[in-house]
Structure 1
Amino acid sequence: MGILERKEREKLELKQRILEAAKEIFIKEGFDKASIRAIADKIEYSPATIYLHYKDKDELFYAVHELGFDKLSEMTRSVENIEDGFQQLRARGLIYLKFAFENPELYDLMFIKEAPMHALKKQEAGWDCGMHNFVALQKNLALCIEQGSILPANIDVLSMSIWSYVHGLVSLNIRGRFEPFCELNPEIQLEKLLGESLDFMLNLIKKKNE
């Protein structure tokens, strides 16, 4: 391996260490405490080293939020093998809920925190990682319509409505808004209830046998 190749590999390895440290601190302590200095201390480098790779905190956490989308995409990849479009749609929704339950901090960064979107505005770039998942949902819905399992509708309206519904369930849960409800109803299993809420919504668009 030549000197240039070795330096490039070391650069990539350091960048990965920065990302992993940023993700770890963010998950453990939250966005506000995940400062550039704290991340630099974690990997035993100076803050200036991090700025060689990322312009600012927003850009760094845009990269961290991409890791979240990589993980979500990996989890949903298996549903592509489900030939029944409606069952694929249901499985996709359940995995989305599962991901949010298991990774609330990452979900918060991916879909609620403003930092990644601030970075996009500075870069004047597209939200490729987010749109990849959205397009996958659209393709799934198109398959459902083609197979006649759901009522025909505008794909953009349908996909936006479904995403917003499930995101609403997840966001309310992440922000602790379901906790008082569960305290009043201790027999409630929240994860099961959210799954049933997903089924209720999907049944609204399901095409009934005539």
Structure 2
Amino acid sequence: MRRKILDAAKTLFLELGFEKTSIRNIADAIEYSPGTIYLYFKDKNELFFALHQEAFMVLLGQFSKVTQVEDPLDKLVVMGKEYLTFAFENPELYDLMFLMSAPIETLDCCNEIWMEGIQAFNLVTQIVTECINKGYFKDQNAEDLSMTFWASVHGLASIHLRKRSTMFLESERIPRLERAFDVLIDMIKKL
């Protein structure tokens, strides 16, 4: 039942947006009463946040490929490529994770920390620190460089997912973003 609720909620959140989706809409979609949903989730915010957490688990699972790579700079490249692959193959999840503000607003009102964000950022920072320890990125701050890397790769994914790359032929869009990622890596290597 919990899975059924989450799947229906995800569909409605993406179709209608967070504000226009209600517990009643979700209940109608699964053909149960709203009371059934409240047995599993205290409110719409908790339900939305559960979807957000699930999406991060999928992304972090995709990052497991990074552990198979020895050189830290190669790890960073693989992580960036996996991030883009995840975004392009899972646009709905990426939307829930990074583009919709509702899950973070839920945390703000509860004075909680965004643990999924910290976990992902720490993983990037760990790899950047390994790079620094191996002699890459001399005189760079690991956290600052990690934020720059994450923001750059996120920007490439967002440009595509928000259809801001439609100025190019469809056949050029992904290859162009991949080449932009390669330029980013070349710039980082020169640090």
TM over 0.5: yes
List aligned pairs for 1:1-210, cutoff 5 A: 14-27=1-14, 29-32=15-18, 34-180=21-167, 182-183=168-169, 189-207=172-190
Cα displacement string for residues 20-67 of structure 1 (whole angstroms, at most 9, x for unaligned residues):
32224445x242554322221233221122234333322211111111
Cα displacement string for residues 135-163 of structure 1 (whole angstroms, at most 9, x for unaligned residues):
10000101111112333411111111111
Structure 1 residues 72, 30: closer, same or farther in 2, change over 3 A?
farther
Number of residues of Structure 1 aligned to a counterpart in Structure 2: 190
Is the partner of 1:116 in helix, strand or coil?
Answer: helix
Deviation at 1:207, TM superposition (A): 4.5
Paired residue type of 1:58: N
TM-score with structure 1 length normalisation? 0.82
Cα distance in 2, alignment partners of residues 30 and 75 from structure 1: 28
Aligned to 1:7: none
What's the % identity of the aligned pairs? Answer: 42
Cα distance in 1, alignment partners of residues 33 and 97 from structure 2: 27
Alpha-carbon contact 2:166-2:173 (below 8 Å) kept: no
Cα displacement string for residues 150-199 of structure 1 (whole angstroms, at most 9, x for unaligned residues):
3341111111111111111111211111102x14xx6x522222122112
TM-score with structure 2 length normalisation? 0.89
Paired residue type of 1:196: R
Q: Kindly report the root-mean-square deviation, in angstroms, between the aligned alpha carbons of the 2 structures.
A: 2.0
Gaps of 5+ in 1: 1-13
Cα distance in 2, alignment partners of residues 99 and 151 from structure 1: 30
Alpha-carbon contact 2:132-2:142 (below 8 Å) kept: no
